[in-house]
């Protein structure tokens, strides 16, 4: 029998790409989303790419415990990939209660439903934000987690702990936390991609919106950092590569190949890229000039972070494949697709 994966927040940016890769790897998928930060186009794109018209889709809120229980009653679920969460750093500082309530409650409800249904494999979508301003680079999974600088970052740390502690208390539940670095780009089909609401917070959507003329000028936040060109260093991971890491992790879980009942993996490329390098690469690969200026540092930004990916490479048999050029071309193709629809 095919294994069935529940993807919470499956209509969003990462969730939609992961759903495609899961279906293409032969999994059955149930997509659930409350549509609070996306529209139907992500799910429609998944159907178009995979040619599957009958993917179960449940519109529901993971903060509704009874609804989560009902979902587990209705479907036999072999693993949950839990994305359903708020993710805007700045908004979390302004509205911490909203972030704690949503991000913690939704995972609690998944954990409770897993327990009341005889156990489950749970893959949690965590972030490199847990490492803060790391003293040593690149960061390994053993690098210390530093006190979070935003409520959003804190919810990632608390959720990791909730999963770890639940796994320790209940042999029927296993967990993996994937710590993403900076996910960027879009599916090569340009049918799914990132859909920021309002002014983008993140670099690549801001770049593509500037290139298409939706924004007049990109502000590069800080050019006096102690880095080779003065701008921050990040580890930009292609969204399809990131999605493939989920398939590898979920397969390890459902095939019973985990070495511990709770495991953590960094998902990045292992390669630091500065903001200026990213901007130049975008200009070069897409043959255009971007209007940008240097602005003040953005409060809360770390100077540099990139991943040691050797654990994921070895244990998941996964490695990032797409080049930065391919990824940035896909981000631009997606922006043009959006402009044309
Ligand atoms: N940047 C700009 N101009 C912009 C947007 C971003 O110069 O308009 C710079 C930032 O200062 C930073 C780099 O581009 O140096 C990357 O910024 P992003 O906002 O794209 O990504 P972050 O590294 O800040 O954010 C990521 C994740 C968050 C996570 C955060 C924690 O997207 O989920 O790391 O540091 F919380």
pLDDT of 136-187, one tens digit each?
999 999 999 999 999 999 999 999 999 999 999 999 999 999 999 999 999 9
pTM for this entry = 0.98
99 tagged catalytic: no
| Strand, coil or helix: 288 | coil
Cα 88 to averaged position of ligand 1 atoms, centre (Å):
10
Q: Which residues contact 267 (CB under 8 A, 6 or more apart)?
A: 178, 179, 180, 181, 237, 242, 245, 307, 309, 312
The answer to whether the CB of 301 is under 6 A from ligand 1 is yes
Q: What is the pLDDT of residue 123?
A: 98
Q: What's the pLDDT band for 326 if we cut at 50, 70, 90?
A: very high
Q: What's the pLDDT band for 288 if we cut at 50, 70, 90?
A: very high
Answer whether 320's CB lies under 8 Å from 238's CB.
yes
Task: Extract the tokens encoding 131.
Answer: 């490492």
Question: Mean per-residue pLDDT for 283-287?
Answer: 98
The answer to whether the CB of 89 is under 6 A from ligand 1 is yes
Q: Whose CA is nearest to atom 4 of ligand 1?
A: 203
The answer to whether the CB of 153 is under 6 A from ligand 1 is yes
Q: What is the pLDDT of residue 341?
A: 84
Catalytic choice (13, 27, 131, 152): 152
Cα 205 to averaged position of ligand 1 atoms, centre (Å):
11
The fraction of the chain above a pLDDT of 90, given in percent, is: 98
Q: Whose CA is nearest to atom 3 of ligand 1?
A: 220
Pairing of strands 173-180, 233-234: unpaired
The answer to whether the CB of 219 is under 6 A from ligand 1 is yes
Q: Whose CA is nearest to atom 15 of ligand 1?
A: 232
The answer to whether the CB of 221 is under 6 A from ligand 1 is yes
pLDDT of 174-219, one tens digit each?
999 999 999 999 999 999 999 999 999 999 999 999 999 999 999 9
Cα 204 to averaged position of ligand 1 atoms, centre (Å):
9
* Bridge partner residues of 22 (DSSP): none
The answer to whether the CB of 275 is under 6 A from ligand 1 is yes
**Exposed / middle / buried, residue 48 (Cβ in 10 Å: 0-12, 13-18, 19+):** middle
pLDDT of 65-99, one tens digit each?
999 999 999 999 999 999 999 999 999 999 999 99
């Amino acid at each position: 029998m095919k294994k069935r994966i529940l993807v919470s927040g499956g209509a969003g940016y990462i969730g939609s790409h992961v759903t495609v890769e899961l279906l293409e790897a032969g999994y059955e998928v149930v997509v659930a989303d409350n549509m609070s930060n996306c529209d139907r186009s992500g799910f429609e794109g998944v159907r178009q790419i995979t040619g599957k018209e009958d993917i179960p889709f449940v519109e529901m809120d993971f903060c509704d415990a009874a609804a989560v229980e009902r979902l587990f009653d209705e479907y036999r679920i072999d693993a949950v990939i839990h994305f359903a969460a708020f993710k805007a750093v700045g908004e979390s500082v302004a509205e911490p209660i909203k972030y704690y309530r949503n991000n913690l409650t939704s995972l609690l409800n998944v954990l409770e439903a897993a327990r009341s249904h005889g156990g489950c494999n749970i893959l949690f979508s965590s972030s490199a934000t847990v490492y803060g301003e790391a003293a040593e680079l690149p960061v390994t999974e053993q690098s210390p987690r530093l006190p979070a600088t935003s409520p959003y970052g804190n919810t990632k740390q608390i959720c990791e702990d909730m999963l770890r502690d639940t796994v320790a208390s209940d042999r029927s539940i296993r967990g993996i936390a994937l710590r993403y670095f900076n996910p960027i780009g879009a599916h090569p089909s340009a049918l799914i991609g990132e859909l920021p609401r309002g002014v983008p917070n993140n670099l690549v959507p801001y770049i593509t919106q500037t290139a298409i003329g939706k924004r007049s000028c990109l502000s590069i936040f800080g050019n006096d950092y102690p880095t080779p060109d003065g701008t921050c260093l990040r580890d930009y991971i292609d969204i399809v590569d990131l999605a493939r890491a989920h398939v590898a992790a979920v397969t390890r879980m459902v095939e019973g190949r985990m070495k511990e009942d709770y495991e953590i993996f960094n998902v990045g490329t292992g390669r630091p890229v500065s903001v200026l390098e990213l901007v130049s690469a975008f200009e070069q690969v897409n043959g255009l000039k971007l209007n940008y200026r240097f602005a003040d540092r953005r409060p809360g930004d770390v100077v540099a972070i990139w991943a040691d990916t050797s654990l994921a490479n070895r244990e998941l048999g996964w490695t990032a494949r797409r080049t930065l050029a391919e990824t940035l071309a896909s981000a631009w193709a997606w922006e043009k697709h959006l402009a044309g629809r």
